[in-house]
């Protein structure tokens, strides 16, 4: 049987939860602030970074050479840094490697670039670094940089370093998502834009999957400790585990940066329960759902409650958004 429910007002939610104390199992769950209303910065675009080459890098190896690679990240972001491949025994490496970074605040965020000498044993020596504030890049515009590497970010920019650390060449392009790009439509768009540029702006995008809550998820035991798994294109992402509840509220969002719209693809969400104490290794599936993404691409967003497959009454609330440049 499919059971549909509608979110109550905070007062009604509190009344319902207090009344539940008089029934078994006794669970008191009073959500004070929904994550959807919290002041959390959402992704507004993608930064395309093409690491082209470096020149005249420092010699760190005994043989008078280095094994360089570039590490890049955006400030204010908890995602792992991205890295180029390692170029063995090369002080003038050529990479031509392309990366996409999720941008949440193009005004304050800074792209940090670090060039390291890879070492098989021990830590990797930093050959030099540089930083580029995103506010220096006009939305939609491709900009080439040829940077003098410095020792660290504490160097005064007007005072040249005594030791030359080489140069790093790259190009950047900040592509706002479609709703954000409306703000800049008249700023940098040129009537002479090429078809290649139009294609570049329209293909890449961000798939955001928000696992909001579930209701009536049941397992073999009286209590369940539910968490949700999001599986897409071989990646697996997981919410936090909530203890002893059949009506979990996760309010967690996961993001996938894609080269093109996920047409004719689906995403799977599984609700699992994990044992605790002596049974911490035990797991149980409480239900799952497969969601076709064609409607998400066509409409930009879906926000629905789904009956969980292999669950008697379980329902899960999921919001999925597709935003493009």
Phi, psi (degrees; rounded to nearest 5) at 183? -65, -25
Read off φ and ψ for residue 256, nearest 5 degrees. -130, 120
Contact 238, 229 (CB under 8 A): yes
- What is the pTM assigned to this prediction? 0.64
| pLDDT at position 183 over 70 | no
Q: Which pLDDT does position 286 carry in this prediction? A: 96
Residue 44's pLDDT is 87
Which pLDDT does position 15 carry in this prediction? 55
Task: State residue 280's pLDDT score.
Answer: 58
pLDDT digits (tens, 9 = 90+) for 277-318: 655 568 899 999 999 999 999 999 999 999 999 999 999 999
Q: How confident is the model at residue 160 (pLDDT cuts 50, 70, 90)?
A: low
Residue 197 pLDDT more than 60?
Answer: no
- The more confidently predicted of residues 20 and 74 is 74
Calpha distance 269→232 (Å, rounded):
9
List the beta bridge partners of residue 302: 320
- pLDDT (tens digit, 9 = 90+) per residue, 47-79? 999 999 999 999 887 778 999 999 999 998 877
CB 325 within 8 A of CB 202: yes
Write out pLDDT tens, residues 216-256.
Answer: 999 887 779 999 999 999 999 999 999 999 999 999 999 99
- Nearest CA among 116, 144, 146 for reference residue 128: 116
pLDDT at 37: 37
With CA atoms as reference, report the closest residue to 321 among 269, 254, 223, 274.
254
Range picked from 17-21, 101-105, 129-133, 157-161 for highest mean pLDDT: 129-133
Q: pLDDT digit string (tens) for 97-150?
A: 999 898 999 999 999 999 999 987 778 899 999 999 999 999 989 999 999 999
Token pair listed for 20: 């539940």
Question: What pLDDT sits at residue 92?
Answer: 97
Integer angstrom CA distances of residue 186 from 173, 191, 253, 299: 17, 11, 32, 25
**Residue 126: strand pairing partners:** 116
Lowest mean pLDDT among 21-30, 192-201, 231-240, 297-306: 21-30
What residue ranges define each of the domains in the chain, with the CATH number in brackets? 45-203 (2.60.40.150), 204-324 (2.60.40.150)
> Tokens 């409607």, residue?
295
The mean pLDDT of 252-272, rounded to a whole number, is 92
The predicted structure's pLDDT at residue 306 = 97
Q: List Cβ neighbours of 16 (8 Å cut-off, separation of 6 or more).
A: 8
Q: What's the pLDDT score for residue 219? A: 87
Full 3-state SS string of the chain: CCCCCCCCCHHHHHHHHHHHHHCCCCCCCCCCCCHHHCCCCCCCEEEEEEEEEEECCCCCCCCCCCCEEEEEEECCCCCCCEECCCCCCCCCCEEEEEEEEEECCCCCCEEEEEEEECCCCCCCEEEEEEEEEHHHCCCCCEEEEEEECECCCCCCCCCCCCCCCCEEEEEEEEEECHHHHHHHHHHHCCCCCCHHHHHHHHHCEEEEEEEEEEECCCCCCCCCCEEEEEEECCEEEECCCCCCCCCCEEEEEEEEEECCCCCCCEEEEEEEEECCHHHCCCEEEEEEEEEECHHHHHHCEEEEEEECECCCCCEEEEEEEEEEC
What pLDDT, on the 0 to 100 scale, is given for residue 153?
A: 78
On the question of pLDDT at 265 being above 90, the answer is yes
């Amino acid at each position: 049987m499919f059971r549909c429910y509608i979110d109550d007002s905070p007062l009604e939610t509190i009344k319902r939860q207090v009344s539940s104390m008089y029934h078994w199992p006794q669970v008191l769950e009073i959500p004070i602030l929904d994550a959807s209303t919290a002041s959390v910065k959402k992704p507004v675009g993608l930064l395309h970074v093409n690491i082209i080459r470096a020149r005249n890098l420092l010699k760190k190896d005994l043989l008078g050479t280095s094994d360089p690679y570039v590490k890049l990240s955006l400030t204010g972001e908890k995602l792992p840094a991205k890295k180029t491949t390692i170029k063995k025994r090369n002080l003038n490496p050529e990479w031509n490697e392309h990366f996409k970074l999720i941008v949440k605040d193009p005004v304050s965020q800074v792209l940090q670039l670090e060039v390291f000498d890879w070492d098989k044993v021990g830590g990797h020596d930093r050959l030099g670094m540089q930083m580029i504030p995103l506010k220096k890049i006009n939305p939609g515009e491709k900009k080439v940089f040829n940077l003098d590497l410095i020792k660290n970010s504490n160097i005064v920019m007007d005072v040249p370093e005594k030791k030359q650390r080489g140069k790093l060449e790259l190009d950047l392009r900040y592509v706002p998502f479609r709703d954000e790009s409306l703000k800049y439509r008249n700023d940098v768009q040129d009537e002479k834009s090429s078809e290649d540029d139009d294609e570049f702006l329209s293909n890449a995008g961000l798939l955001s999957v928000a696992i909001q809550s579930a209701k009536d998820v049941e397992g073999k035991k009286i209590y369940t400790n539910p968490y949700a798994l999001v599986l897409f294109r071989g990646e697996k992402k997981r919410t936090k585990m909530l203890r002893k509840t059949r009506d979990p509220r996760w309010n967690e969002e996961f993001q996938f940066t894609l080269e093109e719209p996920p047409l004719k693809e689906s995403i799977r969400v599984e609700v699992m329960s994990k044992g605790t104490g002596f049974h911490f290794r035990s797991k149980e599936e409480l239900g799952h759902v497969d969601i076709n993404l064609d409607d998400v691409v066509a409409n930009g967003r879906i926000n629905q409650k789904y009956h969980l497959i292999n669950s008697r009454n379980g329902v899960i609330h999921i919001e999925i958004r597709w935003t493009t440049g």
